[in-house]
Structure 1
Amino acid sequence: MGSIVFGCLLPHGFEILEPLAGSDPVLMARTRESARVLGEQMRRAAPEVIVVLTPHGTRAEGQFTVSNAERMRGTVEAHGAAVTLERPVDRGFAQAIAQQAQAGGLRVALLNYATSEGPLSCLPLDWGALIPLHFMPDVPVVVINPPRGTDFEPHLQFGAALAQAATTGHRRVGLIASCDWSHTHDEAGPYGHHPSAALLDAQVVALLEAGDLEDLGGIDPQHVETAKPDGLWQALVLAGAIPRPGRQVQVLSYEAPTYFGLLCAAVTPGEPEGPG
């Protein structure tokens, strides 16, 4: 029987990747080390496929988008350096997730590009997926982009559908919620400074430390607007996929070395299966 064997929240700032850190390798060093730890935990869990929930990539208003190409490939560039990553897509599992979610009344789009199969069937791997995957075992992936909005119930439902697809499809699944948090920590940043950034990120850390992922959906919408996090939607899908009881959350680190918050956390299901 399949199941979700390990989950985590990981950010996607470019400088987390050491080759892209430029002249200040300590800028996101704490997050980088936590990402390495989460990568090792994922390896020990031995997933057959990794699902990445990203806020970037191809978005469709009001729909969950699910990668359904043969492969995904992307490049991230910063400080005169570049990192490229390519992964095959587990198309059977992508289709199973979509079918399970659609059966529950959710709006889902399966995405492909150019040809239905073959070497031209390749979607871009955005930085929200590429950066977390850089630390992870080399297994097939499915990349999902949840819709934005203030109604979070569909995200919990989609997470439950994803978990059900893992069970019925006999897949050992690793799940990554790629989440940067508030983007208004620094006046010099592109969104300026707002005091709600520190308040919202502190609330997120407290909720995660308490294991209350579902309560992320209750954060004041005005704070969401002014703090500008991009993690709520992915984290709530993860909450639906790895529900209480038995869920354990370990916050490894939080920092805001630039204008946005970076948080790393492991989310362990109750009684995960062993390899085999």
Structure 2
Amino acid sequence: MENILRYYLMPHPPLIIPEVGRGQEKVIQKTIDACNKIGEEIGELKPETVVIITPHGTMFSDALAISNEEYIKGNFTQFRDFETYIEGSIDKEFNEKLIDICNEKNIPALGVDSKILKKFNREYELDHGAMIPMYFINKFYKDYKIVHVTYAKLNDIELYKFGMAIKESAKELNKKIVFIASGDLSHKLKEDGHYEYSPEGAKFDKALLDNLEKGDVLSIFNMDKYMVKCAGECGLRSVFIMLGAMEGEEAKGKLLSYEGPFGVGYGVMSFNNEEKGDVKLESLINMKKEILNKKISNANPYVKIARESLNHYYSSGHLMAKPINLSKELSKDRGGVFVSLKKNGLLRGCMGTFLPTTDSIAEEIIKNVVLAATQDPRFERVSEDELLDLDISVDVLERPHKATKEELDPKKYGVIAIQGHKKGLLLPDLEGVDTVEQQLQIACEKAGISLDEEYDIERFKVTRYKEGE
């Protein structure tokens, strides 16, 4: 028998708890029945440990967080339930093995305790993403320890490898465990829901659940990025980790229920692991390489040069020469250029010049993309392993001109705040920067200029080139 006895996908709506829902929970009775069935099954399986992957604990951008004190508890007071609480003992032996394996395999994961979390003004406690599955388990079975993991915004392959590390830990310790991927599906199913409606929400839920039922792991990892982003889900990364724990097994799931009456998709699934399946990791990596190669071959020349420059630098250790047979705009024209790197939708590095410093735009791109990857003081140097996960954009700047505050538009113009030798630049059309006040505040902060002081303003336009566009 395998060490991982069963896998489950479980939602975590707080209103499923009667003291929170106060009658509303009856609307999702099918979800409640399915979760009760899982609790009953786990009671029959009697695992030593339950591993729960949750989106709602303290999340770090660069490492998975593993709760690592002897004991942990939580409550639902934030949802106006002052009676219900959940508690459990942590399987520290499992944690130690898991962290050791992650260190060996360069998977970013760390144990967190009260002392560490206090530095971030966070409490060491169970979150509702873990408590709700435990609520249903505890109805039928309580003689278990838990491994409580908050996922991080790592790339999908890293998350998959972390799942493999969980499987390896269970095997080496010869522990019988149950694996729970806690996560709601799309939060944007209805126009009268709590979140902004998107037609991509229902498409995402159907695609994910259909592919899980079929055990089509490659299709899950290759779902349309636009659809995933618009869906507003919180369960996909938990699923990536769960699928990694299923490496070498048949990943077909049984859908126990699906509901979305409040505009959020609640999917409940169980997965047997009786059949052996194919090893998927190598196929996933090869698929990602093929996607990248296709993206490069279809890229516009500006972004293509940036990608080639980055690959050349990491393979040779020095800047590449300007390619021949470039257009006049790239090989002869001069201008300021900013290059931005994003990983999993988050900024990973950005460097540039608002006036030309080389003889051509091509050379400006070649230099600045490497600086963005290696010299941005806000981030650690990009590792070679990360190159596959980067999305690159190139902004070619027009010459800046003096402007007044009234002449600014954060979607149309970039801005430079100037006071003596202090200069702070902010590019236009950035996510989360919607007002002139926000734009000027950030530009001044970058320059070290107080908003109460006098400073000059310049504005500029850019032409932005992105991979895949």
Q: Which has the larger radius of gyration?
A: 2
2:235 aligns to what? 231
Asked if residue 201 in structure 1 is aligned to residue 202 in structure 2, the reply is no
- For residues 5-154 of structure 1, the aligned pairs below 5 Å read 5-77=5-77, 78=79, 82-114=83-115, 123-136=124-137, 137-138=141-142, 139-149=144-154, 151-154=155-158
Q: Distance in 2 between matches of 1:42 and 1:248?
A: 19
- For residues 152-191 of structure 1, the aligned pairs below 5 Å read 152-191=156-195
- Whether contact under 8 Å (1:11, 1:179) holds in the other structure is yes
| TM norm structure 2 | 0.54
- Whether contact under 8 Å (1:247, 1:270) holds in the other structure is no
Q: Give the CA deviation at 1:216.
A: 2.0
Give the helix-richer structure, 1 or 2.
2
Q: Distance in 1 between matches of 2:34 and 2:82?
A: 22
Q: Give the CA deviation at 1:114.
A: 4.0
Q: Give the CA deviation at 1:54.
A: 0.1
Q: Give the CA deviation at 1:221.
A: 1.2
- Whether contact under 8 Å (2:162, 2:241) holds in the other structure is yes
Q: SS at 2:147's partner residue?
A: strand
1:118 aligns to what? none
Shift of the 228–146 alpha-carbon distance from structure 1 to 2, 3 Å rule, reads: same
Q: Distance in 2 between matches of 1:161 and 1:21?
A: 37
1:212 aligns to what? 216
- Does 8-17 or 39-48 show the bigger shift? 39-48
The unaligned stretches of length 5 or more in structure 1 are: 116-121
Q: SS at 1:124's partner residue?
A: coil
Q: SS at 1:7's partner residue?
A: strand
Q: SS at 2:26's partner residue?
A: coil
Shift of the 214–88 alpha-carbon distance from structure 1 to 2, 3 Å rule, reads: farther
Q: SS at 2:208's partner residue?
A: helix
Q: Distance in 1 between matches of 2:219 and 2:102?
A: 22
2:260 aligns to what? 256
- Cα deviation, 1:23-82, whole Å, max 9, x if unaligned, reads 334222110100011111112222101010001101111211111111111111446564
1:119 aligns to what? none
- Whether contact under 8 Å (2:42, 2:178) holds in the other structure is yes
Q: Distance in 2 between matches of 1:110 and 1:214?
A: 30
Q: SS at 2:161's partner residue?
A: helix
Q: Distance in 2 between matches of 1:174 and 1:226?
A: 31
- Whether contact under 8 Å (2:62, 2:152) holds in the other structure is yes
2:4 aligns to what? 4
Q: SS at 2:107's partner residue?
A: coil
Q: Distance in 2 between matches of 1:21 and 1:79?
A: 10
Q: Give the CA deviation at 1:21.
A: 2.1
- Whether contact under 8 Å (2:17, 2:25) holds in the other structure is no
- Whether contact under 8 Å (1:11, 1:180) holds in the other structure is yes
Q: Distance in 2 between matches of 1:231 and 1:98?
A: 23
Q: Distance in 2 between matches of 1:79 and 1:214?
A: 41
Q: Distance in 2 between matches of 1:252 and 1:213?
A: 19
Amino acid at match of 1:20: V
- Does 237-246 or 158-167 show the bigger shift? 237-246
- Larger RCO: Structure 1 or Structure 2 (Cα < 8 Å, ≥ 6 residues apart)? 1
- Cα deviation, 1:185-237, whole Å, max 9, x if unaligned, reads 12233421010001111111111111224532211111121111111100111
Aligned pairs, number: 265
- Whether contact under 8 Å (1:196, 1:226) holds in the other structure is yes
Shift of the 25–225 alpha-carbon distance from structure 1 to 2, 3 Å rule, reads: closer
- Whether contact under 8 Å (2:212, 2:251) holds in the other structure is no
- Whether contact under 8 Å (1:68, 1:110) holds in the other structure is yes
Q: Percent identity?
A: 25
Shift of the 102–214 alpha-carbon distance from structure 1 to 2, 3 Å rule, reads: farther
Q: Give the CA deviation at 1:258.
A: 0.6
